[in-house]
Structure 1
Amino acid sequence: MAKRRATRPRRSATEWGVRGALAIAVAGLGYVSVAHSLAYMMRGTAPARAHALAPWDGRITALLSEQLSGPDATPADRKRADELALLALRQDPTAVPAVATLGINAQVRGDTAAARRIFAYSEKLSRRDLRTRLWAIEDAVGRGDIPGALRNYDIALRTSRIAPDLLFPVLASAISDIEIRQALIATLARRPAWSEQFLSFVASTGPDARATANLFEAVRRRSIALPIGAAPALVGRLLAEEHVDDAWRFYAALTPGADRRVARDPGFTANLTSPTPFDWTPVTDSGVSATIQRGEQGGIFDFAVPSNLGGAILRQTQLLPPGSYAIEGRGIGIEQADNALPYWTLTCPDGRELGRVTVPNSAQANGRFAGRFTVPAGCPVQQLLLVARPSEQLSGLSGQIDDIRLRPVGR
């Protein structure tokens, strides 16, 4: 008996129509989803294209209004920006960049009262909008409200990743003003998250090194630790800019008991992670090994210099007044020909040597050395240097210094 073929029921025109409509709807939703994803990805770099892909998204519309209200915007740009900002707020009432656009454009048109009302609303929505904070800083400065300006600096620096690049140079320039500096010290005393980064920035790149020294001394009096490397960077800048007395005053504030008439840390016991120019600083160029280490009875300076190399291997900046000075100390483990023995020298800024005192072989006089330097007038800053001379030994020059004293004769 023959099998009967199963037949599919015929679909009505209505059913086909429904299916087609659903397919179109699915395709449309897929397009919208893809378009919105693409728009959101490019909203930061190309807000106009993002807005064209997703004109219904209030956040993207707000970003386009922000782009059109920049410092180089034309009156036509600002009019269009206002229209987009209002549209963005209809699409998303929490679109803070749109509020900021309206505020900035009001300020540009000279309507400060409207700008203040608009930015007050922006701050109620969010404290994280950078343009709102920048406007608030300018507004506070214009009214002479230094605490208000610093409050907005603080908020901006805590809430925006790019704020330090914009605000640190401005804040660093402002510390020359005593009133601003005092208010900033009070802000830093609260230890905001950005304080260490700012102190490092101003130490190396602030435009007024002396004002920075005053700031650093004040924050230390508030028991605020300076970032590692900040003090050495500032002392180096003060010396390079020939603010010698300011450099010493700042260093002395950091180093109780420091005396500019003598070399500091004769026994290498300070164990500093980041020395200033007024501290012992090993020089490690060209494969030279030079380190300050803990010894059995204090510290030692340990050095190893490859054969046929020479040059300074240890330095300390001095501010010795004119006069005669005695130098003495001891070397350990040094064994060289007479013409390859290391020596101490004191130099002036123009490179003049004020004498040489050789470090003998350690088998001679137990390695002890002594000598004198005479500092003339016109040589306000000196470098005390331990200099290695080229050695013909295959192992080069090596040894240690465990004591070095430089002081006025008769002291």
Structure 2
Amino acid sequence: MAKSQPRAADGRIAYDGRLSAAHAAALITADTTAAERAEAGTLARAALRRDPTAVSAAATLGVVTLVPNDVANARRLLAYAQMLSRRNVQTQLWSIEDAVGRGDIAGALRWYDIALRTKPALGDVLYPVLAQASRDPAIRTALVRTLVGKPPWSDSFVTYASGQKGDSQSTAVLFVALRARGVAMPAVAQASVVNILLNAGTVDQAWRFYAAIRHGAARDRSRDPRFAAMIDAPSLLDWTALSDNGVAASIQRTWEGGVVEFSAPASVGGPVLQQVQLLPGGTYRLSGHSDGIAQDERALPYWALTCRSDGRELGRVALANSSQAGGMFAGRLTVPANCPVQTLTLFAPASDAIGGTSGQIDRAVLAPAG
């Protein structure tokens, strides 16, 4: 009964200090009244007299002592609770708050580390606070030092932070700093950094981070011409298969690398493949190879290059049926100097054929026209 009905359990066995401690701890809530706080203090003192190892009693008494602002005594009691066990959540949370109140950044992060190692579920409470605090440069620097030590909660925090949209630029700065210190990051977090930086308009920073995680990538051409990378969490700068409104697309592994397979039912069409480009102004050649495409001319797939800032189309390259020219396709596209970020998209138009639209692309590269 100690967990579900602590008051009743304490009443049944009044001599057990651990039960009195559980009773006292249960009285401390966000809505605790002065009378309940006094009762909690009395019970906690009695519990410690009966059992000096009752951790929660020491922690509860420390919290109760804080109300009259007897901070020194509260610290003594909570330090005693911490000495007995590092598994008391109340003690951990107070220790973090106390360190923050004193401006002790390193101390606060040390308690964060202890708390999250002890009870990973505390991430639900602590990660939002830590992510918000990391916007402060001093805290961010100290946090990077902590994460360089590879605590067991590092990956889960980085993954959490990568999904936050409140201050994407600060999150990106944190991740770039982690990358610079050699901290391994989950793939989803790496992709998130690239996307955050691109969407924030910091194109050069986005590219530097991307080039660091995708060795050999070149900015003046598309990437992964054979679709061989098989990236679980692609960024905007990677090939991304698009499936929506009945259109299905996926990148499958083959002996030669990979292949993009796409299909759509009759009268349904849309984008099936996309990759953001950072091409300098100039003329480019898009070439590649298709298989399995057999459509009327008006329903043939085509590539379109658009300017990401305003959506204007820069050009198209239409595909022929795969039975023509051995499935090879090629065309020229011009990128103006005033469009630094572009999107290359493969579209499958709606078809009137009973079987709808289907096909494969096993090679595609957009490179400077030599």
TM-score, structure 2 normalization: 0.89
Measure the CA separation in 2 of the matches of 1:162 and 1:50. 27
C-alpha distance in 2, partners of 1:69/1:88?
15
Q: Secondary structure at the match of 1:152?
A: helix
Query: In terms of mean alpha carbon deviation, does 240-249 or 392-401 score higher?
Result: 240-249
Task: Compare 245-254 and 49-58 and name the one that shifted more.
Answer: 49-58
Partner of residue 172, structure 1: 131
Alpha-carbon distance between aligned partners in 2 of 1:267 and 1:232, rounded to the nearest angstrom: 20
Count of aligned positions: 369
2:312 is the alignment partner of 1:374: no
Alignment deviations for residues 302-349 of structure 1 (CA, whole Å, 9 cap, x no partner): 223333221000011123344443322222232211111100002234
1:42 is aligned to: 4
Alignment identity in percent?
Answer: 51
Match of 1:62 among 5, 15, 21: 21
Structure 1 gaps of 5+ residues are 1-38
3-state secondary structure, aligned to 1:191: coil
**Alignment partners' CA distance in 2, 1:221 and 1:379:** 30
1:210 touches 1:246 (CA, 8 Å); kept in 2?
no
Determine the C-alpha separation between the residues in 2 that align with 1:409 and 1:87. 84
Larger RCO: Structure 1 or Structure 2 (Cα < 8 Å, ≥ 6 residues apart)?
Answer: 2
Aligned to 2:321: 361
CA distance in 1, matches of 2:204, 2:74: 48
Q: Residues 1-400 of structure 1 correspond to what in structure 2 (within 5 A)?
A: 39-40=1-2, 42-43=4-5, 47-205=6-164, 207-349=166-308, 350-376=310-336, 379-400=339-360
Tell me, in whole angstroms, the C-alpha distance in 2 between the residues paired with 1:40 and 1:296. Answer: 62
Q: Distance in 2 between matches of 1:335 and 1:206?
A: 43
SS in structure 2 of the partner of residue 86 of structure 1: helix
User: 3-state DSSP class of the match of 1:229?
Assistant: helix
**Structure 1 pair 279/115, CA: closer, same or farther in 2 (3 Å)?**
same
Pairwise CA distance, 1:266: 1.6
| C-alpha distance 297-162 of structure 1, shift in aligned 2 (>3 A) | closer
* Partners of 1:189 and 1:222 within 8 A in 2: yes
* Alpha-carbon distance in 1 for matches of 2:113, 2:151: 7
CA contact (8 A) 2:2 2:22 kept: no
Does the aligned pair in 1 maintain the 2:247–2:270 contact within 8 Å? no
Distance 1:114 1:41 in 2: 28
CA distance in 1, matches of 2:20, 2:205: 54
CA contact (8 A) 1:42 1:50 kept: no
CA contact (8 A) 1:283 1:314 kept: yes
- Superposed CA RMSD in Å reads 2.5
SS in 1 for 2:329: strand
Residue 174 of structure 1: how far off its partner (Å): 2.1
Do the aligned residues in 1 keep the contact of 2:300 with 2:319 (CA within 8 Å)?
Answer: yes
- Gaps of at least 5 residues in structure 2 are none
Give the TM-score of the pair, scaled to structure 1.
0.81
